[in-house]
Structure 1
Amino acid sequence: MDPELPLGANLAIHVALSVLDLAINAAAGAAAAATGAHVNGDPTTRLVLQTGAWAGVSKSGVLNFTVLISMTTDNIFVKVLMIVLGSPFGQALLVTLAVGQKILGRIVNELLIAAAAAAAPLTAGSVMVEATGGVYSIQAAGWDALGGYTFARLPIRASQRSRAYRFAEFHVCEYKSAAAAGGVFGILVWFMRLPLTKFLEMRAEELQETEQAIDS
């Protein structure tokens, strides 16, 4: 959000960038799904590409929607809720819900638990992006790969007898396929966002220099 611009202009810019981000994530999601299918030895069907694109759009949509709401409200409860929903944890759960409902037509508890587990490495990747920024944030793709691996490796379910969690035989896909898909998604999103990322970094530096000049 540019403090030198009015709220309306900032909202318009955010909406425009959100549309671009939706396209980037849709393309990266489709490519990631195709990669996962190839590594898994499966054909790259239209359903595979559509599923990957839908997952990418869902992820981008959740994040950009929560940012948009946060920009337009001063309600602390709403802001906290948007932070939770827009976090890697919230994104992982909501994307899994969206994809599961669209593809399977139902909500699978095992997948939601796997998504919650996968949110841990995804959170680490988000922290790395914030800490490094720009070119060096490509390292976060490794955490995306680990998130994919975790999602495929740790689907667990609640045992009705003991009410404790145990490992289930719910097969998502091969672990290497999920890791490859996660890594490809992270790299492609990083690459396609890089020009915009660099521009925003330069703009932030300009604003900081302006503030320092005013203070001095």
Structure 2
Amino acid sequence: MPRLLRPRPPVHRLRQVTAAALVCLALVLALRPPPPATGVAAGPPTVPVTVAAADLPAGTVLTPADLAVVPLPAGTAPAGVAAAPDGLDGRVLAAPVRAGEPVTDVRVVGPGLWSAVPEGLVAAPVRLADLAVATLLRAGDRVDVLATTAGGDGGGGGPPAVEVVAGDALVVTAGPAGDDPGGSGDGGLLVLAVPTATAQQLAAAGTAGSLTVTLGRP
């Protein structure tokens, strides 16, 4: 005698349909591509800063080819920096700069440079007898200035006399060294930060004899 199957209750059928629907929904969600990005997260604000495009020695007359503009995070740019190269075109570097280094007002000859002179001191120009010595000096160096004069009564009757006329003087800027073929007069020229009385002694010593320097720790 054939066995009769008992019909399943509707609740059981509903559960099967619901389970199948959930499986299909999960597959659809898994295979769906991610939504496109609506935007890029904004980074910290930046400011334009003019930097050296290559290593530049002291005495370089700046041109647009020597400079570049890069963005730096706001708040990290040094004071006195130029936002565009236009204001630096034709200015003379008072100290060497490395490629990528911001060119600030104290790096070029001008009022900003003189602000590097400590309070109570004056900026005294000094021309060295040995022009090659200037190539060894950088802004921030400390030097002793030596004056050499003829011995005896000044007629060359004795050995030269050497004396220190400025000790531990701060180098504010070192001009380009060389034999100055163009006659610009910049060869071997230093600007030192010294007391007023020392500046007077340097001027007198430079007139009476020749000057050179020895280097100390900056």
Query: Structure 2 length as normaliser, TM-score?
Result: 0.26
**Which has more radius of gyration?**
2
More strand by share: 2
Considering Cα pairs closer than 8 Å and 6+ residues apart, tell me whether 1 or 2 has the greater RCO.
1
Query: Structure 1 length as normaliser, TM-score?
Result: 0.26
More helix by share: 1
